[in-house]
Amino acid sequence: METKQKSDFVELKKLAKNGDMKAQNNLGAWYAIGRGVGEDNAASIEWYAKSAAQGYARAQFNLAMCYYNGKGVNQDYAMAVEWFTKAAEQGLAEAQFNLAMCYIEEYGVEQDLLEGIEWLSKSAEQNHAEAQYNLAMCYVGGLGVGQNETKAVEWCIRAAEQGLAEAQANLGYRYYAGNGVDQNDVQALEWYARAANQGNATAQCSLGAMYLNGQGVTKNETKAAEWFKKAANQGLAEAQYYLAHIYGTGKGVELDLSKELEWVRKSAEQGLSQGQFELARAYSRGFGVEKDYIKAIEWFTKAAEQERAEAQCALGIFFLEGELVEQNYATAIKWLGEAVKQGDDRAQYWLGACYAHGRGVETDLSKALELLTKSAEQNNSAAQCGLGLFFSDGRGVEQDYAKALEWYMKAAEQDEAFAYFQLGMCYYSGNGVEKDKGQALTYLKKAIDIDPESWAAVEAQRKITDAQEMIDAVRDEIRKIRDEVFISYTRADEDIVKELKVVLELLNKNHGIKFWYDKMIRTGKSWEDEIRFHMKKARVAILLVSNKFLNSNFVRNDELPELLQSAIDEEAKIIWIPISASKVSDTKIIGRDGAEVTISDLQALCDPRKPLRNMEIHERDEVYNLVYDVVKEAFVTSC
C-alpha cells in the first residue's frame, strides 16, 4: 500500500508540474495530510496557491481554510475571505457557507448580515446541510432576516434529512416542545435518536430524559442511564447533572452517592448553575463531603451570579439569618431582591417578611402584603400563613377573619403545622367561623402530628391542655349537679320498675346513690317540669325499652332527645334494657341538634334477642346485678 501511494504521488506531482490545476490541488491536499510523502504544510500551501491562481474553486477554498485556521501560513481572516469569495463566486457551496459565516460573525470583513444571508441562502439551496441549519437559526433569531418559524422549520428539516446531527437534535426539541410544529413525543424521540446515534451529546441527553420519564417510549431507566453516560462522558454539563441524579436515586444504576457527588461536581465546574447549587447544598449540609461553609458560600455565589433563583434566595437567607456567613442585611436584601425579580416564591416570602418586620429595610406593610400575596398565589404555604396573620390581626389591611381562614386553609392543604394551629384557634375562638371545640381540637392535634417539634405543635399542645383542664372543671361541676339515676319507662312496665328498684335502693344504702322516676313526683308539682328537672340531674339514665315505650310521644319527643344528647355530650351515661321484643333498631330519635340518633347504637345491657320478659327470675336477677355494677362504676369512677 505504501509503495503504491508513493508511485501515485510521483505520478500526481508530474501532472501538477505540468500545470494540471486539479492535480496541483490534490497534491496540496496530499502534502497537508502526509499521503505518499511526509506532511509538509508549506508545500501544501504552495500547490494550493498554484491551483487557486488558475481559478480552481476547490483549491481556492482549501487555501482560504489554511488562512482561516493558520495552517502553513499566518492566520489571516482577510485573506481567507478573499479566497472564500473567489471560490463562492464559482458556486462552491462550502465556500459560500464559510463566506456567509465570515460576514455574519465578522471574521476578516465588516459584519454585513444581508450579505451573509445572501451567501448562506445560495449555499443552502445547493443542499449544504450546515448552511441550511444556520439559515434556519437565522430565521429563528431574526438575524439578517425577519423572524419566520415556518421557514426555520423548513430549513431545519432539510438539514436534518441530510443527516446533520445538530439539525436532527434541534428538530427533536421542536417536536418535544411543540415549537413551530405540532407537539409529538414519538417524532421527538425519533429525531433525538438519529442525532444521538451520531454522537450528538445534546440529543443523547434529551433521549435519556425521554426514557427516564417515559415520553414517546416505554419508561426505561436503564436506557436513560446509558444515554446520560454517553453525553456526560462527552462533557455535556446537563447530562452530567442528570447522571448525578440517576446515581443519587438508584434509577437505572446501582445507588452510588459518591458518583452522584462526582458528576454534580463535574457539572458545577463546567458552570452549570444547577450543579453549582447542588454542590453548594452538599457542602452546607455535609452530604457526601465534610461540611465546608466557605466552599458552600462560594458555590452558592457562583450559581447566584448565573441568576439561579434558588441560590440567590439561599444566599439571601444565609446573610439575613447569619447562617454560614456573618449577618449582613444589605447583602441579604440584594440577593433576595434578585431572586424576587425572577418570581421565586421563597424569596418573595422572605423579602415580604423583611418589609413586614423592618429587617434590612424600612417597615412597609403594603410592600410586605404585595410580596406575600405573590408568594402565596404560587402556593407557598409560609406566605399563606403570613397573609392569614395579616388579615386576622388587621395589620396593614382591614381585619377580615374569613380571609384569614381562607389562607390558613390553603396552607393546611400542604400540611403546614402552623396553619393547622391557627385554624384550631379560629374554631376555638369563633373567629371567621362558628365556634366548634371539637373541630378546634382536631386541627390542634393535626398540628402536633405533622411537626411535633415545631412552635405550632408546642402551642397546640399547651392549648389542648388548658382547654382540657377547663373541660374537666366544667364536667366536675356538671357531675356535682348530676347526682341521680333517672328511670325512663311506660306505665305498662311498672312491674319491671318495682323489680329494678330493689337494686337501686341497695345502691342508695351502700353508696348513697339516689334514683328517681315519675311515681316520685310530689303533689302539686308540674309533671312535665319535674321530669325535665330530674333529667337534668341524671348522671345515669336507665331506659326500659319496648314497643309501647318507643310509641310514647312524650318519651320520643321529650325524654329521649334530652337524655341521648346528654350522653353524646358525655354528661350522662345511658343504660338501655330490652323489656320485650321491639323495633328499637328501626326507631330514629331526633336529637336537640336535629341529628338522628338510634338507641340501638348504644350497648344494650342484655341481648335484645332475649328481652327481660322472656327470662327466668334468676336470669333477670343477673341483669339487675349488672345494672348495680354499671351504675356504681358511673358514680364511683367519676367522683
> Cβ distance 240 to 267 under 8 Å?
yes
DSSP letter, residue 491: G
Tell me the three-class secondary structure of 35-76, residue by residue: CCCCCCHHHHHHHHHHHHHCCCHHHHHHHHHHHHHCCCCCCC
Q: How confident is the model at residue 526 (pLDDT cuts 50, 70, 90)?
A: confident
Calculate the average pLDDT of the chain: 91
- On the question of pLDDT at 223 being above 90, the answer is yes
Over residues 269-289, the mean pLDDT reads 94
> Cβ distance 539 to 483 under 8 Å?
yes
Tell me the three-class secondary structure of 211-240, residue by residue: HHHCCCCCCCHHHHHHHHHHHHHCCCHHHH
435-454 per-position pLDDT tens digit: 888 888 889 999 999 999 99
The closest of 587, 529, 525, 520 to 560, measured between CA atoms, is 587
| Secondary structure (3-state) at 112 | coil
- On the question of pLDDT at 178 being above 70, the answer is yes
pLDDT recorded at residue 591? 67
Out of 38-47, 91-100, 430-439, 520-529, pick the least confident. 520-529
Q: Which residues pair with 573 in a beta bridge?
A: 540
- On the question of pLDDT at 301 being above 70, the answer is yes
- On the question of pLDDT at 469 being above 90, the answer is no
DSSP sequence for 501-529: HHHHHHHHHHH--EEE-GGGPPTTS-HHH
Task: Round to whole Å and give the CA distance between 89 and 423.
Answer: 79
Over residues 617-632, the mean pLDDT reads 93
Spatial neighbors of 138 by CB under 8 A, at least 6 apart, are 104, 117, 120, 144, 145
C-alpha cell at 304: 447566584
Over residues 78-106, the mean pLDDT reads 96
C-alpha cell at 370: 404585595
- On the question of pLDDT at 212 being above 50, the answer is yes
- Considering only the C-alpha atoms of the chain, give the largest distance between any 2 of them, rounded to a whole number of Å: 150
Task: Round to whole Å and give the CA distance between 433 and 124.
Answer: 71
Over residues 348-362, the mean pLDDT reads 95
- On the question of pLDDT at 1 being above 60, the answer is no
> Cβ distance 543 to 575 under 8 Å?
yes
532-560 per-position pLDDT tens digit: 888 888 889 999 999 998 998 888 888 88
The b-or-e profile of 47-77 (16+ CB within 10 A means b, else e) is: bbbbbbeeebbbbbbbbbbbbbeeebbeebb
- On the question of pLDDT at 473 being above 60, the answer is no
**C-beta atoms surrounding 259 within 10 Å:** 17
Task: Round to whole Å and give the CA distance between 263 and 268.
Answer: 8
User: Helix 93-105 and helix 129-141: axis angle, to 10°?
Assistant: 30
> Cβ distance 224 to 209 under 8 Å?
yes
pLDDT recorded at residue 479? 59
Domain boundaries in the chain? 379-475, 482-636
Q: Report strand pairing: 573-578 vs 538-545.
A: parallel
Task: Round to whole Å and give the CA distance between 196 and 199.
Answer: 5
Phi, psi of 101 (to 5 degrees): -65, -30
Torsion (CA) 453, 456, 460, 461 in degrees, nearest 10? 20
- On the question of pLDDT at 470 being above 90, the answer is no
| Secondary structure (3-state) at 545 | strand
Out of 135-149, 166-180, 481-495, pick the least confident. 481-495
62-88 per-position pLDDT tens digit: 999 999 999 999 999 999 999 999 999
Instruction: Please give the CATH number for the structural domain made up of 482-636.
Output: 3.40.50.10140
Task: Round to whole Å and give the CA distance between 60 and 47.
Answer: 11
- Note the Cα 386 to chain centre separation in Å: 20
The closest of 392, 322, 323, 320 to 357, measured between CA atoms, is 320
Over residues 505-524, the mean pLDDT reads 88
Does domain 379-475 fall under CATH 1.10.1840.10? My reply is no
Task: Round to whole Å and give the CA distance between 266 and 275.
Answer: 8
Side chain identity at residue 262, one-letter code: E
- On the question of pLDDT at 637 being above 70, the answer is no
- On the question of pLDDT at 638 being above 60, the answer is no
C-alpha cell at 61: 477554498
Task: Round to whole Å and give the CA distance between 101 and 111.
Answer: 10
Over residues 314-336, the mean pLDDT reads 93
Over residues 573-587, the mean pLDDT reads 90
Phi, psi of 484 (to 5 degrees): -130, 165
Over residues 516-521, the mean pLDDT reads 88
The closest of 500, 596, 585, 595 to 550, measured between CA atoms, is 585
373-413 per-position pLDDT tens digit: 999 999 999 999 999 999 999 988 999 999 999 999 999 99
Burial class (CB in 10 A: 0-12, 13-18, 19+), 393: exposed
Over residues 22-40, the mean pLDDT reads 90
Using DSSP, how many helices (H) and how many strands (E) does the chain show?
32, 6
The b-or-e profile of 15-36 (16+ CB within 10 A means b, else e) is: ebeeebbebbbbbbbbbbeebb
Task: Round to whole Å and give the CA distance between 322 and 383.
Answer: 22
